[in-house]
Structure 1
Amino acid sequence: MSIPQSGGGPIEHYSQLAEFLAAGCKPKEDWRIGTEHEKFGYCKDTHLPLPYEGDRSIRAMLEGLRDRHGWAPVAEGGKLIGLEKDGANISLEPGGQLELSGAPVETIHETCDEVNVHLREVKDVADDIGAGFIGLGAAPEWTHEQMDLMPKGRYKLMNAYMGKVGTMGRVMMRRTCTVQVNLDFGSEADMIQKMRVSLALQPIATALFANSPFFEGKVNGYKSLRSRVWRDLDSSRTGMLPFVFDEGFGFERWVEYALDVPMYFVYRDGKYIDALGQSFRDFMAGKLPALPGETPTLSDWADHLTTAFPEARMKKYIEMRGADGGPWRRLCALPAFWVGLMYDQTALDGAWDLVKDWTAAQRDALRTAASVDGLQAEVTGINLHEIAREALALSEAGLKARARAGAGGLVPDETHFLNALKESVETGKVPADELLEQYHGEWNGDLSRVYDAFSY
């Protein structure tokens, strides 16, 4: 979940809303890669989730990272709720999932180095307090009641609201994890093409990264339960956004969409003010019930943009949001997959050719099928395994064309970061398939084995 945004001063003209988004346009040489990933912390002896408070806790993890590894504290209401250093930040998801939001970097090599350092630091602190961390798309055993709600005002408000707008919102908050990548665009036309390809191909990412076949100690019938959860969270702010594929889509149309997303809060003086279900349009007119007579700032607009949760989201950059959290190799593979497709024009054009004839109904059906069947999904003749194979080939070609060397020039490009995905395409098996095989095989139905086998 996003931290409070700093977007600027008062909104005096409606046009500023689209201008705020358009300000994200950058020349290609300034495009960067920002990777975010979440993971579950647990007590090694009991396998129960880490609480916020205590000697073995999320707070202890944050304090250890602060004291040992030079991270600066971020507090809210006197509680330590995050850390920041060198353009990156560590934040807490509602159930205590620890998230690294990486600094904007130029190459996947740098992203992977950042991930490596972060996981080493986390393990250093966790080992001392008897904790472990695991990358899965959904909590394998824990109940809602076993997971503390983190002490952030935004989460308290969301927790109260989620039960009114869907059936899975609180499950999403406490018991799911994702990995996502944030990428730049060069112009409005570039943004449009990237948003369309991003949304259409999110089911491919969902399938390739599916990693949540267990829930509350049982096989749940989905390769990606996390994806299933997002389908019944809040229809006003989630989904595949068919309007993005309409003629005339651009920054202004995204503004209209975001204005129709009900508000959660307004952030003032370090506190979250309840604006649940209220209208940003009313806020623009000085008629927001939560703050009568006040009008918003661009910081408020930036905050509001973080409360829409579609499969691909636009702010001043585009966020790819369709993948489950997972093992180390896939934390580097996700940005590699999307950078290869998005940052080379030939690959991007090829990806658009793959998906341009799909209907809104097909895109929606692929999203559902990917969550259930992974790469085995098929919808009206569209075979997800074959589309994944073609998309991956385009991504690999895009990374080769980028030719960003690593390891002091010894590694000529970034294509090796796709190896985990190439294995999945070759075998047809994604992480969820491997988990299920072990659960029904050598684990003999003992799900507690997942912690030793798949922790970082």
Structure 2
Amino acid sequence: MAASEPITDRRQLVEYLASGCKPRDQWKIGTEHEKFAYDLETLKPLEYEGPRGVRAVLERLQQFGWDLVYEGGNPIALQAEGKGSITLEPGGQLELSGAPLDNIHQTCTEVNTHLKQVKAVAADLNIAFLGLGYNPKIPVADVPWMPKGRYKIMRDYMPTRGGLGLDMMLNTCTVQVNLDFDSEATMARMFRVSLALQPIATALFANSPFKNGKPTGFLSYRSHIWTDVDPDRSGMLPFVFEDGFGFEQYVDYLLDVPMYFVYRDGRYIDAAGQSFRDFMNGRLPALPGEVPTMADWSDHLTVSFPEVRLKKYLEMRGADGGPWGRICALSALWVGLLYDSTALDDAWELIKDWTVEDQAYLRDETPKQALKTPFGNRSVKEIAIDMLKISHDGLRRRERLDVVGLNETHFLNDLFTIADSGFTAAEELLCAYERRWERQVDPLFQEYAY
């Protein structure tokens, strides 16, 4: 489907999603991760301009074969054939959107190559990078905004819909994995399993206990933030578990998600709160008389923020940013669960009796208690161990070996340690805060820097 193709019928939107189906032997793994960039002297986020600013970081990364992408004369991203892209989040968080790869070994190589590149730039600029779900020290009001047009529109609109939208934009980081499917039925099954288990992943990866230098009472404050961003575009999507769920039902959901913008001639036009349905009928107030193109639909897919998101692939969105070695662990967890048919069946058995109320309870409670969250006569810790065992078996059956003959199961080792102990990265940080850091968060920026 051409990006310029005008949309005249809802069926085109369904076909767009369905065009993501691909044979199992062509399934790929796309890993994305965000990280905070900060000045080593002040611990503050980087300004955009200046000799040690975000712009300088992007420009220096060109030496590794990346090409700058501009908006309004400002470099706002990097891209390279076969290497994915490097983009900016609203508060200057740097994101690597990795290339579609065949296995977790390749993902690990990609991530480590990126680390070497950003550390080389950081050493020259006296800056550093940190993997955490929420900035532990800097108030939202003190975070500089990046010069991207869509962020200005979101900045103005989000506070009208929830109390923590700007926190989400400016002060959070996540790790995400994007996975393929071969049919509508497979997509629906993967969506249900991954959506139900997303709070368990949130618990395993909980790594954001601080705000403004103090504990928040949450182990994943980043995950909690999403409960007060915008009820129109975030949450657990109960309709995914209804009989007959498929591409059409997801299109109907997206058509009810209010728009943010329309992109025309290199600029973002404010359409916040307006209806894509009206757009299809030529009645969009921001562009009266015009109808959308497939490029507009592709943009609209990015402005919904459920725990699992469907585009032409499925995005797992429940994890905090964290230690470098744990980036590959997230991809391994979901690949093991969803890319092996036996593992997918076993994971369905694990969650098939959970009600919508059960899922809502897990979504609300795991940001607070993580693995210690009680669930019926069990705990989230026990469910996490079951989940990891299923994933481990799925990775073992995949039998994707590296150059020395190791399969992908070892990427789960850190997660097994967390699950078996019931002690998350967030709790490790809280212990350090109470003991050796003497109730200060500044040491975190040195001890946990990439």
**Common fold: TM-score over 0.5:** yes
Alignment gaps of 5+ in structure 1: none
Question: How far did residue 430 of structure 1 move?
Answer: 1.2
1:290-301 counterparts in 2 under 5 A?
A: 290-301=286-297
State whether structure 2 residue 431 is matched by structure 1 residue 437: yes
Secondary structure in structure 1 of the residue aligned to 2:47? coil
Secondary structure in structure 2 of the residue aligned to 1:122? helix
CA RMSD of aligned residues (A): 1.1
Question: How far did residue 6 of structure 1 move?
Answer: 7.7
Q: CA distance change for structure 1 residues 279 and 163 in 2, over 3 Å: closer, same or farther?
A: same
- 1:299 partner letter: A
State whether structure 2 residue 406 is matched by structure 1 residue 412: yes
Cα deviations by residue, 1:110-140 (Å, 9 ceiling, x for unpaired):
0110000001100100111110000000000
Cα deviations by residue, 1:24-63 (Å, 9 ceiling, x for unpaired):
0000000000000000011001111111111111111101
Cα deviations by residue, 1:185-220 (Å, 9 ceiling, x for unpaired):
110000000000111000011000000001100011
Q: CA distance change for structure 1 residues 295 and 382 in 2, over 3 Å: closer, same or farther?
A: farther
Aligned to 1:55: 51
Whole-Å separation in 1 of the counterparts to 2:185 and 2:50: 51
Contact 1:366-1:378 within 8 A present in 2 as well? no
Aligned to 1:75: 70
TM-score by length of 1: 0.97
Contact 1:266-1:275 within 8 A present in 2 as well? yes
Which residue, 417, 429, 442 being the options, matches 1:448?
A: 442
State whether structure 2 residue 171 is matched by structure 1 residue 175: yes
Whole-Å separation in 2 of the counterparts to 1:415 and 1:251: 32
- 2:213 partner letter: G
Q: CA distance change for structure 1 residues 193 and 8 in 2, over 3 Å: closer, same or farther?
A: farther
Secondary structure in structure 2 of the residue aligned to 1:262? coil
Instruction: Calculate percent identity across the aligned residue pairs.
Output: 56
Cα deviations by residue, 1:163-205 (Å, 9 ceiling, x for unpaired):
1000010000000000000000110000000000111000011
Aligned to 2:80: 85
Whole-Å separation in 2 of the counterparts to 1:119 and 1:7: 33
Whole-Å separation in 1 of the counterparts to 2:29 and 2:102: 6
Secondary structure in structure 1 of the residue aligned to 2:34? strand
State whether structure 2 residue 226 is matched by structure 1 residue 230: yes
Whole-Å separation in 2 of the counterparts to 1:426 and 1:382: 14
Contact 1:54-1:60 within 8 A present in 2 as well? yes
State whether structure 2 residue 8 is matched by structure 1 residue 19: no
Secondary structure in structure 2 of the residue aligned to 1:231? helix
State whether structure 2 residue 208 is matched by structure 1 residue 217: no
- 2:422 partner letter: G
Question: How far did residue 412 of structure 1 move?
Answer: 2.9
Secondary structure in structure 1 of the residue aligned to 2:315? strand
Q: CA distance change for structure 1 residues 93 and 398 in 2, over 3 Å: closer, same or farther?
A: same
Which residue, 305, 313, 316 being the options, matches 1:317?
A: 313
Question: How far did residue 437 of structure 1 move?
Answer: 1.2
Whole-Å separation in 2 of the counterparts to 1:115 and 1:419: 18
Question: How far did residue 13 of structure 1 move?
Answer: 2.3
State whether structure 2 residue 202 is matched by structure 1 residue 202: no
Aligned length: 449
Question: How far did residue 69 of structure 1 move?
Answer: 1.1
Whole-Å separation in 2 of the counterparts to 1:429 and 1:339: 24
Aligned to 2:358: 362
Aligned to 1:255: 251
- 2:421 partner letter: T
Secondary structure in structure 2 of the residue aligned to 1:65? helix
Whole-Å separation in 1 of the counterparts to 2:264 and 2:45: 32
TM-score by length of 2: 0.98
Question: How far did residue 100 of structure 1 move?
Answer: 0.2
Whole-Å separation in 1 of the counterparts to 2:3 and 2:103: 26
- 1:322 partner letter: G
Question: How far did residue 8 of structure 1 move?
Answer: 4.5
Aligned to 2:136: 140
Whole-Å separation in 2 of the counterparts to 1:359 and 1:445: 41
Aligned to 1:397: 393
Whole-Å separation in 2 of the counterparts to 1:422 and 1:159: 39
Whole-Å separation in 2 of the counterparts to 1:163 and 1:47: 27
